[in-house]
Amino acid sequence: MRRSRIALAAGFCLSFFLGTLLNLLCVPGFDHLHQQHRFRDGATPAPQWPATGSPADLLRQLRARYQEVIRYREHRAALPVSGRLRKPLERRLMDLAQRSASSHEQHRVTKSGSEPAAPEPTFLSPQGAGLLDLSLRAPSLGCRDIANRSDVRYLGSGYTKAVYKLVLNRSLSVALKSVDFGGHDIQNCVQQYRDLQDCYRLASYKIVKEMILLQRLQHPNILQLYGYCYQDSNDISNTLTTITELGSPLEMIQLLQSSWEDRFRICLSLVRLLHYLAHSPLGSLTLLDFRPRQFVIVDGELKVTDLDDASMEGTPCSSNADCFMEFPARNFTLQCSVEGKCQNMNEKRNLYNAYRFFFTYLLPHSAPLSLKPLLDSIVNATGELRWGIDETVAQFEKVLYMYRNGLYLSNMTHTPKAEYKQVVDVSIAEEDYRCWPSYHHNGCLLSVYNINEAIDICESHSQCQAFVWTNETTWTGRQLVFFKAGSINFVPDHGKITYLKSTG
């Protein structure tokens, strides 16, 4: 029994290793070295099982996906993009690219090594003829920036895509997204239709759709598209890799251990994003695959990274019974409009998912006491869908205004129990104690609005004998303060102020 368990575990580890290696061999930059390991002499591996689907059915799916891409590209006018990029980031991208928009058209290299005159940003139609222009603006990065790189790191895979990390010029980390040849999407399709080329094309339309949405939807909480690359890979022409902003995975356990201020920022980022999606240039958009793993964190802000399952389609109806939304915990029935569409269904679906995945866990816990009634009303109203996104974002902005300006302290009368002596340009080494939630794992580092709040916190902690007013602030402009259990180990520290508790 023990040997069988060991053999099973070893088999699992081996399959995981091989799957990871397979993804690494398929990333652009590795293909020129390794594609012969998977497809020798240009031969496409034929599955050993009989096909269960007809070519006509696969062609029908290709046409449907292609028409969806066209619809998302041409529906309404795109927003102006002037000023979209922050100037420092824009300069870094320009330094990396070092080329003009006209030279970008020459990056696609065919198998023969020739450089065609046709521009790169195109994609094949299902029939293999007629090219769809995907470029809504000149990209900052392209094939030249990611080709022949050996420092690409595999990050993970989903149902359709594999994601890799690449550091450009030692200064800018980017994410590379491409179709995962070992993923469920490709494998299930090949098993059913025995046509790797068309199965790749079917899966890649998801990346094409996401790429178009990343260009059309411009918002601080949507991942930025830096560019893309077409190249012939694995005996398939025009394989697509997108180059995007890189974020950190959203880890809910870590978020629950972070400060309330940071958790509120995540929820505020999300509700601002949902407000934009409800009023986007494409109309109201819903995220059909709404899960924490679809988001990343960039510089403390939440950003959506996967848009291939976003939908702008409204739900047709003839009565309210057709506007039924089902969730694991409860269900809702919305109103059917006179136009025969379920009213605000995309918006309400997003809002309830935000409640059940984010608000209910991140908003109320360890919040300032005077803000808890307002936060509870936000959680309850979104959980019951009594508010729309406009009212929800207004209430979030109200909480931010109160917190940033110290209005939650207006009813607090502060009478210090002790006197505090001020020492300038000095801090205290060590002598830390832990509190929760803290910005520092081994100490008590909290944000405060003013000195009175810092004194109130120190007097509420039995361990606190002093606190250090740092020269650092949080994203709201609040001061970070280190609370200390002693006041013996003084060290010079320019710009910091130490307050020593004196009870005598």
**The domain containing residue 206 runs over which residues?**
13-40+50-245
The lowest-confidence range among 32-46, 324-338, 367-381 is: 32-46
Residues 301 and 383 in one domain: yes
1: in domain:
no
Amino acid at 4: S
Question: Measured in whole angstroms, how far is the alpha carbon of residue 446 from the centre of its chain?
Answer: 27
**Domain at 256, CATH number:** 1.10.510.10
Query: What is residue 131's three-state secondary structure?
Result: strand
Note if 322 is an active site residue: no
Q: What is the mean pLDDT of residues 323-340?
A: 93
Whole-Å CA distances, 360 to 54, 310, 377, 393, 437: 47, 23, 11, 16, 18
Condensed to tens digits (0 to 9), the pLDDT of residues 238-266 reads 889 999 999 999 999 989 889 999 999 99
Mind spelling out the 3-state secondary structure of 256-292? HCCCHHHHHHHHHHHHHHHHHHHCECCECCEECCCCH
Cβ atoms of 316 and 322 closer than 8 Å:
yes
3: in domain:
no
Condensed to tens digits (0 to 9), the pLDDT of residues 128-147 reads 544 455 666 777 888 888 88
224: in domain:
yes
pTM > 0.75: yes or no: yes
Cβ atoms of 484 and 454 closer than 8 Å:
no
**Domain at 439, CATH number:** 3.50.4.10
Amino acid at 271: V
Listed residues 377, 409, 441: the one ending a domain? 409
Residues 163 and 25 in one domain: yes
Residues 94 and 140 in one domain: yes
429: in domain:
yes
Query: What is residue 425's three-state secondary structure?
Result: strand
Whole-number Å distance between alpha carbons of 169 and 244:
16
What's the pLDDT score for residue 100?
32
Residues 241 and 254 in one domain: no
Model confidence band, residue 124 (pLDDT cutoffs 50, 70, 90): low
Terminal Cα-to-Cα distance of the chain (whole angstroms): 71
Average pLDDT over the chain, rounded to an integer: 80
Whole-number Å distance between alpha carbons of 170 and 84:
24
Query: What is residue 426's three-state secondary structure?
Result: strand
Beta bridge mates, 501:
420
Residues 199 and 314 in one domain: no
Whole-number Å distance between alpha carbons of 13 and 102:
48
What percent of the chain has a predicted confidence (pLDDT) above 70?
Answer: 76
Q: What is the mean pLDDT of residues 36-62?
A: 61
Exposed, middle or buried: residue 380 (CB in 10 Å: 0-12, 13-18, 19+)? middle
Query: What is residue 383's three-state secondary structure?
Result: helix
Residues 107 and 189 in one domain: yes
Q: What is the dihedral of CA 298, 300, 302, 303, to 10 degrees?
A: -20
2: in domain:
no
Closest by CA to 78, choosing from 136, 159, 162, is 136
Residue 235 has pLDDT above 50, yes or no: yes
For 6-38, b where at least 16 C-beta lie within 10 A, e where not — what string? eeeeeeeeeeeeeeeebbbbbbbbbbeebbeeb
Choose the catalytic residue: 289, 322, 456, 493. 289
Q: What is the mean pLDDT of residues 26-47?
A: 38
Residues 172 and 196 in one domain: yes
What's the pLDDT score for residue 331?
94
Cβ atoms of 225 and 214 closer than 8 Å:
yes
Residues 237 and 276 in one domain: no
Residues 155 and 198 in one domain: yes
Condensed to tens digits (0 to 9), the pLDDT of residues 447-475 reads 999 999 999 999 999 999 999 999 899 99
Residue 298 has pLDDT above 60, yes or no: yes
